[in-house]
Amino acid sequence: MSIKKRELVTHIMTKQPMSVSLRNSVEEVYELMHENCIRHVPVVNGNKLIGIVSKTDLERVSFAESSDTGKKLKISFYAGFTIEQIMTKNVQTLEVDDSVKDAAEMLSFGNFHAVPVVDGENLVGIVTTTDVINYLLEMYS
């Protein structure tokens, strides 16, 4: 078993991740996350990354329970916010030629659990802590 020191982040990233634009509603972001079991959604203008919304961002603006009634409360509560108001704007990113090690360092020292991967300013993927752990498990198999 040998972990490659320069394995590119493109090897482990989710390519063409689900994303939203500022035209989408916060309710739509919530539904996208809920229906697809994801916790981070990049925000793009065209293909240019302009922000990211996390499950934590949504929880920060909502205090409702997660029961069916709570879900309805969350959705109606989200109507009072725009994506631009809740998204993280100055997103730390990885470039396509960065390594898995770069991703692991960024995720372990940052206060976040997903990092968008860009080619220039354009979103091409996303790497999560789960992706890094799965890579390590693959290397140890």
In a domain, 128, yes or no: yes
Q: Quick check: is 2 in a domain?
A: no
Residue 102, burial from CB neighbour count under 10 angstroms (0-12, 13-18, 19+): middle
Phi, psi (degrees; rounded to nearest 5) at 37: 50, 50
pLDDT class of 78 with cuts at 50, 70, 90? confident
Asked if the structure places residue 94 within a domain, the reply is yes
* CATH number for 21: 3.10.580.10
In this model, does residue 104 exceed pLDDT 90? yes
Indicate whether 27 belongs to any domain: yes
Inside any domain, residue 4 = no
Domain assignment of residue 81, yes or no: yes
Contact 135, 5 (CB under 8 A): no
Answer whether residue 3 is part of any domain.
Answer: no
Instruction: Say whether pLDDT at 31 is over 60.
Output: yes
Classify residue 93: in a domain, yes or no: yes
The residue type at 133 = I
By residue range, what is the domain housing residue 99? 9-140
Cα(72)–Cα(135) distance, integer angstroms: 37
Total of domains in the chain: 1
- What is the model's pTM? 0.87
What token pair was written down for 97?
Answer: 């030629």
Lowest mean pLDDT among 68-72, 125-129, 132-136: 68-72
